[in-house]
A and B are shown apart, each in its own frame.
Chain A
Amino acid sequence: MLSLSLPPGQHRGLPAESEGGGGGAARRAAEREGTAGSVVPTPVKIRLIDMLSETGLPVIEATSFVSPRWVPQMADHAEVMQGINKLPGVSYPVLTPNLKGFQAAVAAGAKEVSIFGAASELFTKKNINCSIEESLERFSEVMNAARAASIPVRGYVSCVLGCPYEGNISAAKVAEVSKKMYSMGCYEISLGDTIGIGTPGSMKEMLAAVMKEVPVGALAVHCHDTYGQALANILVALQMGVSVVDASVAGLGGCPYAQGASGNVATEDLVYMLNGLGIHTGVDLQKLMDTGTFICNALNRRTNSKVSQAACRL
């Protein structure tokens, strides 16, 4: 996931076109989530992350320390973590669903971790066989250990604009879960439209509720493009002051809930839009496109990035 931040002090609305520049701390592109659906050889993953590191992205989610029994695509987490070339100034957070995963991650050299909550009881039940409350209790173990080791923790909230099992999710519920995770010590909360069903209308409503509980500077959006709404939803989030955005190079990662449909928004398309808005990201779009070409060739699939498909002529 790529998160891009606006220059400091520009959290209210979009910056003017003439402004920009300054060290925007961009978050990074989802190597993890993007390749979760395919079985990718370890050297290819390492090469992908190394290429992403060269683009100027400041954060690259590398892998997931979950049991290979559940997510075999991430079984090589330790090798990936140890194999990548970690550039100074770039963060490489990893997923850690529990204390065991956290400890394995730290042993492998992780310096930042992420935990995943959800705004839907049914989604949590289906995914990890417990309630939202119980999942947060499990995470608190990770939080305690992370605090002791001075490791920052990022919190994700899934299903913020809709759930494949429950349907509509109330903005109040999203705000409640976000607040809990923020209070537990997550430095940032990434709000995920897991099935891409949200629109600028529901995004606005959800953010308005969450922003009453969590400072906007600690918020990120993680939009899926399953219904083609991602960039419009991200635009609304930016207009409301959100300055961290998750995305995936080449739009890697389909939607497991809608066969044949796309999932993550493509980092290239996002950066193209932000460039056009005069918002600084620090990312080299051409290098990003080259990285997308590399991984698509390796996976023998077409890119989901429209910018890449159009092969920018202007």
Chain B
Amino acid sequence: MGTVPSALKHCLSYQHLLKEQLWIGEPTAPPHPGQESQASGLPEYVKIVEVGPRDGLQNEKVIVPTDTKIELINRLSKTGLPAIEVTSFVSSKWVPQMADHKEVMRGIERHPGVQYPVLTPNLKGFHSAIAAGATEVSVFGAASESFSKMNINCSIEESIEKFEEVAKSARNMNIPVRGYVSCALGCPYEGDITPAKVAEVSKRLYSMGCYEISLGDTIGVGTPGSMKRMLEAVMKEIPLSALAVHCHDTYGQALANILTAIQMGVAVVDSSVAGLGGCPYAKGATGNVATEDVIYMLNGLGINTGVNLYTVMEAGNFICTALNKKTNSKVAQASFNTGAVKKEFRIPETRKMRGKKKKAEKVLFFFFLSK
């Protein structure tokens, strides 16, 4: 806008701007005068569920060494994030990226007060997870019959039956279960999904004992309009405090959709450090919303998350260097100078990895066939 001076020597350094103006680096920044979240009807606190190590890495092109995953999770544990989705106890035949689930589970440093949920698509996976030390699990439903069929070769009803087995065992062992509902705002096969269907599936998962239902815009097609309609339907069946949103940024709508959800009282948001995890349905497109960008927005709204944004950016820088890729976080791009890629973090893609990757690409990422 207007003319721009070519020399920007006197510009505030971004480090200064971040720390002084935006409280990046301060986990409990005071709200900006006039922005008290309570006055505007927004939640005082929003819980961020970090899905980068699982959902993110599972959908990246490169298979990440176990040590790198453990390092990433350990770094994330120090940021103040209250929940970090660690791995997935599914058959490595279908999701080779998560084949090292036991090693990762056993290798991470568990911080007190931080939850480390894992995916368990069936009873076998659940038992395996518990044996490896898991203390919280997740199950994945879908609001689309076609998606369920294509992913795990069964109907929604059949998948619910499998999850009920998991939920029952979990209940007996006092293990909390989180339920996900995919395709909440649209399906790559069916197109539009009715809010009523999302509400119905959510209710089934909640009734079987899931303590929280994460509503996922799997292909990122939702907008504030469709988010509002969907949440209105679901909120008739499930208490607000048990709802979370899992927005993908494939069409750039994620933050606007998350804002809409927060304005309606939702206080749990899933996101992925550095926006890890592309979209398997749109080649070259992005997937998960970046944790850094979400926290930036919440900080600006005066909403407490308990998370230190700067340390999240550092963790994001670490994993992007390791993956030899650019971050998908705009906040990180604008404010964090990553410098040159360090050679020792680069992971070479072997022919074996490429073969495995090709096979994995055929499998839709949320659902897995049982052995």
Interface of chain A residues 123 through 145 with chain B (CB within 8 A):
126-128
Instruction: Give the docked Cα–Cα distance between A232 and B35 (Å).
Output: 16
Interface size on B, residues (CB 8 A): 63
B176 interface residue (CB < 8 Å to A): no
* Number of A-B residue pairs having CB atoms within 8 Å of each other in the complex: 179
Interface residues of B in 239-259 (CB under 8 A from A): 249-253, 255-256, 258-259
- Return chain B residues, CB-CB under 8 Å to A127: 2-5
B345 at the interface (CB under 8 A from A): no
Proximity string of chain B (14-29) to chain A, C-beta cutoff 8 Å, 1 when within and 0 when not: 1011001110000000
Surface stretch bound by A, among B137-145, B161-169, B282-290: B282-290
Q: Which of A86-94, A178-186, A273-281 lies at the binding interface?
A: A273-281
A202-B32, A310-B282 are contacts. A165–B253 as well, Cβ < 8 Å? no
A194, A227, A236, A306 interface centre (most CB from chain B within 10 Å)? A227
- Give the residues in chain B near A201, CB-CB below 8 Å: 31-32, 35, 300-302
Is B34 in the interface zone, CB < 8 Å from A?
Answer: yes
Output the nearest chain A residue to B4 by Cβ-Cβ distance. A256
- Inter-chain contacts of A227 with B (CB < 8 A): 293, 296, 330-331, 334-335
Which residue of A258, A266, A269 contacts B14 across the interface (Cβ within 8 Å)?
A258
**Quick check: which of A47-55, A77-85, A156-164 contacts chain B, the rest being far away?**
A156-164
A235→B260 CA distance, assembly (Å): 9
Residues of the A chain whose Cβ atoms lie less than 8 Å from the Cβ of B299:
199
Q: Could you give, for residues 275-307 of chain B, a 1 whenever the CB lies within 8 Å of some chain A CB and a 0 otherwise?
A: 000010110111000100100110111100000
B1 contacts chain A at the CB level, 8 A cutoff: yes
Contact of A262 with B333 in the complex, beta carbons under 8 Å: yes
Assess whether A152 is interfacial by the CB under 8 Å rule: no
Contact residues in A for B225 (Cβ distance below 8 Å): 17, 276-278
State whether the Cβ of B223 lies closer than 8 Å to any Cβ in chain A: yes
How many A residues touch the partner, as a band?
A: 35 or more
Of A95, A126, A276, which contacts B5 at CB under 8 A?
A126
Q: Does B226 contact A (CB under 8 A)?
A: yes
**Chain B residues with Cβ under 8 A from A225's Cβ?**
330
**Beta-carbon contact of B334 and A305 below 8 Å:** no
Closest-by-CB residue of B relative to A202 is B300
What's the nearest-Cβ distance from chain B to residue A254, in Å?
A: 10
The answer, yes or no, to whether B224 is at the interface (CB within 8 Å) is yes
The verdict on A175 contacting chain B, using a C-beta distance below 8 Å, is no
Chain B CB within 8 A of A298 CB: no
Separation of A261 and B8 alpha carbons in the complex (Å): 15
CB-CB under 8 A for A204 and B329, given A33-B1, A269-B252: no
Q: Which of B72-115 contact A (CB under 8 A)?
A: none
B40 at the interface (CB under 8 A from A): yes
Kindly report which residue of chain B lies nearest to residue A158, judged by CB atoms.
B1
Task: Please state if A128 and B2 are interface contacts (CB–CB under 8 Å).
Answer: yes
A314 and B186 form a contact (CB under 8 A): yes
Q: A17-B225, A158-B1, A205-B32 are in contact. Are A165 and B10 (CB under 8 A)?
A: yes
With A202-B35, A226-B334 in contact, is A192–B1 under 8 Å at CB? yes
**CB-CB contacts of A22-36 with B at 8 A, as 1s and 0s?**
000000000001001
Q: Which residue of B lies closest to A235 (CB)?
A: B256
CA of A255 to CA of B255, assembled, Å: 20
Report yes or no: A236 in contact with B259, Cβ–Cβ below 8 A.
Answer: yes
Can you show 27 pairs from A to B with CB atoms below 8 A apart? A17-B229, A116-B1, A156-B1, A164-B8, A164-B12, A164-B17, A194-B1, A199-B299, A199-B300, A200-B259, A201-B32, A228-B296, A229-B296, A231-B253, A256-B8, A258-B335, A260-B333, A261-B334, A273-B223, A276-B224, A276-B225, A305-B252, A306-B249, A306-B250, A309-B286, A313-B188, A314-B219
Q: Which residues of B are interface residues toward A (Cβ below 8 A)?
A: 1-5, 8, 10-12, 14, 16-17, 20-22, 31-32, 34-35, 40, 186, 188, 191-192, 219-226, 229, 249-253, 255-256, 258-260, 279, 281-282, 284-286, 290, 293, 296-297, 299-302, 329-331, 333-335
Binding site for B on A (CB under 8 A): 17, 33, 36, 66, 70-71, 95, 97, 116, 118, 126-128, 156, 158, 162, 164-168, 192, 194, 196-202, 204-205, 222, 225-229, 231-232, 234-236, 255-258, 260-262, 266, 269, 272-273, 275-278, 305-307, 309-314
Nearest 7 pairs of A and B residues by beta carbon: A199-B300, A276-B223, A306-B252, A228-B330, A261-B334, A269-B252, A116-B2
